[in-house]
Amino acid sequence: MFKKITPDKDYVPNKVSLGARLGNLVLAVLLIFLGGYGILKEELYLPLGKRTEVTLYGDATYVAMVAFSLGAIYFLLEIVDHYDKRNNEHIYRRLRMIFRGFACMVFISAIIVNLKYVYQT
């Protein structure tokens, strides 16, 4: 009736280097602080590239904070996967793709919400 789960003897859990784990932790914390700063000031300047920059105002900073929180979870999932020794890396990989996709969609939504403030005159 129930399938007995037997450990795979050839399975080797993935290892993430200490530098990568610390880098992911720093990026997650920076994203949360950046989003919090934007909410506190109700203005958030983001240089997105050499010639592209966005300044978010008002409600758009709250939407960006949601995107940054999803991004922080994305970075933290790799750390959690390192300490989870079960054979389920595919689940973490799929979760990271989902969180990355949602974070990008929510950030684009923040830019769209920001258009209300840009063209409000």
**CA distance readout (Å), 78 to 32, 66, 81, 84, 89:** 17, 19, 5, 10, 10
Q: What is the mean pLDDT of the chain?
A: 88
* Amino acid found at 112: I
| SS (HEC) of the chain | CCCCCCCCCCCCCCCCCHHHHHHHHHHHHHHHHHHHHHHHHCEEEEECCCCCEEEEECHHHHHHHHHHHHHHHHHHHHHHHHHCCCCCHHHHHHHHHHHHHHHHHHHHHHHHHHHHHHCCC
Q: Tens of pLDDT along 70-91? A: 999 999 999 998 888 888 888 9
Q: How far, in Å, CA of 47 to CA of 116, rounded? A: 20
| Residue of 92 and 3 predicted with greater confidence | 92
* 26 Cβ contact list (under 8 Å, min separation 6): none
Write down the pTM of the prediction.
0.84
| Residue of 100 and 87 predicted with greater confidence | 100
The mean per-residue pLDDT over the stretch 94-104 comes to: 96
Percent of the chain at pLDDT above 90? 60
| Residue of 9 and 61 predicted with greater confidence | 61
Per-residue pLDDT at 121? 53
| Residue of 47 and 15 predicted with greater confidence | 47
Per-residue pLDDT at 6? 57
